[in-house]
Structure formats: C-alpha cells, structure tokens
Amino acid sequence: MSDVELIVLDDAEAVAEAVAQRLARAVADGGNVVLTGGSTPKLAYERAAAIAPDWRGIEVWWGDERCVPAEDERSNYGMAKAALLDRLEHPPAAVHRIFGEAGRDEGAALYEEELGSEALGLVLLGVGPDGHVASLFPGAVTLDETERRAVGAEAGHEPFVDRVTLTLPALRGAAEVLFLLTGEEKADAARRAFAQDPDAATPASLVRAESGRTVAILDRVAAAAIDA
C-alpha cells in the first residue's frame, strides 16, 4: 500500500484552496469523485464550485452518510448540495446519494448495489478527532469487513445517528485517497493516522490506496504533533 504524501500548509484557507485545486483537476480528468461529510470540506467545496463549475464529466459519490432525510441539517449530502452542487453551472453526470433515510442496513444494501464494481477515483476523507474516517470508528466491527463495499454502522461520534459507510476495501481501492485535516483538535489523530503503525484504534491509519496515491493535506496546527 502507498505511503502517505504529507502536505502541510499555513492555515485552513490554504488547505481549502489546495483541496479545491485537486478537485478541479479531478473534474478536468472526469470519473468518479467521492465526497466526505463533516465541516472541514465546506470551504473547499465552495472554492471548487467557483474554479471548476462544470461537473458534467463527473459522477459524485459519498464516503458515508447519516441515516437522516436529505434535507436534515445533519445530512452529508445536504451539506455538499449547499456548498458545491447547487453552485455549479453544470451539475455532475450523476449524483449517487446514499439513502440514509432507508436505515443503515437497507441504505447500505442500496448503495452497495449502486456501487457495483465502479472504480473510485479521487476519494476525499476528513478525519475525526478520534481518528475515524467516513463512518469507520475506532475498534468498530465495520473495520473487519473484507467483502462488501458499503455497510451500516452505529455512530461512534457525533451526530449519534446510524450511518452508512464505505468500507476499508472500498476506500483502499481508490485511485487516490486525499485526507484533509485542519485545527489543533486534529493534531493527535493526525499523529496516530500518519506517523504511527496502522491500528484499529485509529481507522485513518488503516486507509491507504492499494495501488494509487495517498495524500494528506493539513494545516500547521493539525500537523504539529507529527513532527514531534
């Protein structure tokens, strides 16, 4: 599996700009792009929509979803719709929303069917302060999944609602995994994810592209413990 290429930038704005530029290159190349939820990517999504407004060559997927309706404020789809999709001049060729409202097991089954054997291109991943990625939480049974590409998950971090998540095999099959982390509350997770041996206590440490690139873009405060 690929080593992580670390890119440390001055602040969250610089991280957002770098992620937006990488998204713009993915848009130019076409293919499948997997978005992450959470709050970190919002600014990057807004910038990406501004610099690359034509997503006709892209199919959009999500790394995970909360089991809530699309219009719920906790929806990862809803966040990306407001920050990115609604701002585009030309929408993606396809938007593969995870139907979290169907419940974690039914929603995962539907997403698994839609994923089929689709090759995932650029996969964005935020990292929680506990080291979770998507909805793969520390020590969770979902980390043991070796066959399915999507599974239901119990929440191991706020918001405490059931989830649907891509699995480690799915994430490791990406052409490129791109982690994005900002803020001092991510410093310990970044150290465990990128500067220590893989460990189920830190799911981000288990995600490396098997035959593609693995890149982590961090601001200085999130990277502070890595140099220690």
Q: Rule CB under 6 A: which residues touch ligand 6PG?
A: 36-40, 63-64, 76, 126-128, 132-135
Question: Cβ closer to ligand 6PG: 54 or 162?
Answer: 162
User: What is the smallest separation between the CB atom of 29 and ligand 6PG, expressed in angstroms?
Assistant: 23
User: What is the smallest separation between the CB atom of 63 and ligand 6PG, expressed in angstroms?
Assistant: 6
Question: Cβ closer to ligand 6PG: 126 or 152?
Answer: 126
CA–CA distance, 134 with 105 (Å, rounded to integer): 16
Residue 91 amino acid letter: P
Cα dihedral across residues 34, 36, 41, 45: positive or negative: positive
User: What is the smallest separation between the CB atom of 45 and ligand 6PG, expressed in angstroms?
Assistant: 12
> In the 8-state DSSP scheme, what is residue 201?
T
User: What is the smallest separation between the CB atom of 26 and ligand 6PG, expressed in angstroms?
Assistant: 18
Question: Cβ closer to ligand 6PG: 39 or 196?
Answer: 39
Enumerate the H helices of 58-167 as residue ranges.
76-83, 104-115
Summary count for the chain: helices (H), strands (E): 7, 10
Question: Cβ closer to ligand 6PG: 78 or 128?
Answer: 128
User: What is the smallest separation between the CB atom of 41 and ligand 6PG, expressed in angstroms?
Assistant: 7
> In the 8-state DSSP scheme, what is residue 40?
T
Q: Count Cβ atoms below 10 Å from residue 175 Cβ, excluding itself.
A: 17
Question: Cβ closer to ligand 6PG: 59 or 64?
Answer: 64
Q: Are the C-beta atoms of residues 197 and 205 closer than 8 Å to each other?
A: yes
Question: Cβ closer to ligand 6PG: 85 or 134?
Answer: 134
Question: Cβ closer to ligand 6PG: 23 or 127?
Answer: 127
Q: Which residues contact 116 (CB under 8 A, 6 or more apart)?
A: none
Burial 187-202 (b: 16+ CB within 10 A, else e): bbbbbbbbeeeeeeeb
3-state class (DSSP) for residue 7:
strand
User: What is the smallest separation between the CB atom of 38 and ligand 6PG, expressed in angstroms?
Assistant: 3
User: What is the smallest separation between the CB atom of 211 and ligand 6PG, expressed in angstroms?
Assistant: 24
Residue 221 amino acid letter: V
